[in-house]
Amino acid sequence: MRKENNYARRLHRRAFRRQGWLACPTGLPLVKTRILAHDAPRLPQHVARLDRLNRDTHHAAIEQQIVAALQRHIPHVHAVLCSDYQLGLLSPAIIGTIRDLCQQHGVLLTVDAQGHADYYRGVDLFRCNDREAAATLGTPLQCEDDFQSALAALRERLAVRTIIVTRGPDGLSIQGQDTPYRHIAAAQLSEVYDTTGAGDTFIAVVTLAIAAGIEPLLAAHLANAAAGVAVRKFGNAVVAPHELVQAMRRRHY
């Protein structure tokens, strides 16, 4: 309870609204330890990360509270973003509730998944990385033809409007209902100090852009540029609007 109150105070100071925020009674499911290399006066550089997972964390005790919160809030939002790290919270029941409510109320539903791809049939946008795409399809992705075939297969299998596969230093590939296959080069290949949060930045920006009415291909360019800014910062950094504008101008947008 003390930790919950501490988080609540910190969120309040940053002007976050607490509606729909629930604390898991079983404690933290994941602790991350980052190993950094430091060479002053440059920023520390991320080398590796050790994750300690508690896969025994059981969310059934609060599942009904989560469903009730979703039913209250989804009708009043523009988008829902599911970030699935396979830690147990996004159960098939909760995912089904989210999908049904989004379809019922015309709310954009995007997904960033590290597995469980088949849980997310029928969403608006699905993102995974190249390793996850290869594992889902059971085939290696080694050349551009492989990626083009893989995105088409994933989109058909999941019945999603848009599929994005991020490819690390090789950028990303996108294909959608109104978006022919396209490979977009990485926005930042040098001065990569810390990849922490780059994927979260990407899916957040692409979701916000599409919710604002931007077509998916341009939204992917925006998200790619934002992730390129994020990797030049240390830690869980925030990309400011003016930084994103500057990054897009450097890419002649």
Percent of the chain residues topping a pLDDT of 90: 52
Whether the per-residue pLDDT at 193 is higher than 60: the answer is: no
Model confidence pLDDT, tens digit, residues 91-112: 899 999 999 999 999 999 999 9
Whether the per-residue pLDDT at 199 is higher than 90: the answer is: no
Whether the per-residue pLDDT at 215 is higher than 50: the answer is: yes
Q: Which of 61-75, 94-108, 134-148 has the lowest mean pLDDT?
A: 61-75
Whether the per-residue pLDDT at 3 is higher than 60: the answer is: no
Q: What is the mean pLDDT of the chain?
A: 85
**Which of 43 and 152 is assigned the larger pLDDT?**
152
Among this protein's residues, is 200 annotated catalytic? yes
**Owner of token pair 């988008």:** 79
pLDDT at 228: 85
Q: How far is CA 18 from CA 58, 64, 69, 79, 223, in A?
A: 22, 18, 11, 18, 27
Catalytic residue among 100, 146, 170, 200: 200
Residue 35 and residue 49: Cα distance in Å, rounded? 6
Residues 6+ apart with CB under 8 A from 99: 109, 120, 122, 123
**Which of 189 and 183 is assigned the larger pLDDT?**
183
Domain interval for residue 80: 2-250
Model confidence pLDDT, tens digit, residues 35-64: 877 765 566 666 777 877 766 555 666 888
Whether the per-residue pLDDT at 19 is higher than 50: the answer is: yes
Neighbours of 234 (CB within 10 A): 13
Q: Which candidate, 130, 72, 66, 135, places its Cα nearest to that of 96?
A: 66
Query: What's the CATH number where 217 sits?
Result: 3.40.1190.20
**Which of 237 and 182 is assigned the larger pLDDT?**
182
Burial of residue 225 (number of CB atoms within 10 Å: 0-12, 13-18, 19+) = buried
pLDDT at 191: 62
Helix, strand and coil content of the chain, in percent to the nearest 5, comes to 45, 20, 35
**Which of 3 and 238 is assigned the larger pLDDT?**
238
Domain count, the chain: 1
DSSP structure class, residue 138: T
Whether the per-residue pLDDT at 164 is higher than 90: the answer is: yes
Q: What is the CA radius of gyration of the chain?
A: 19
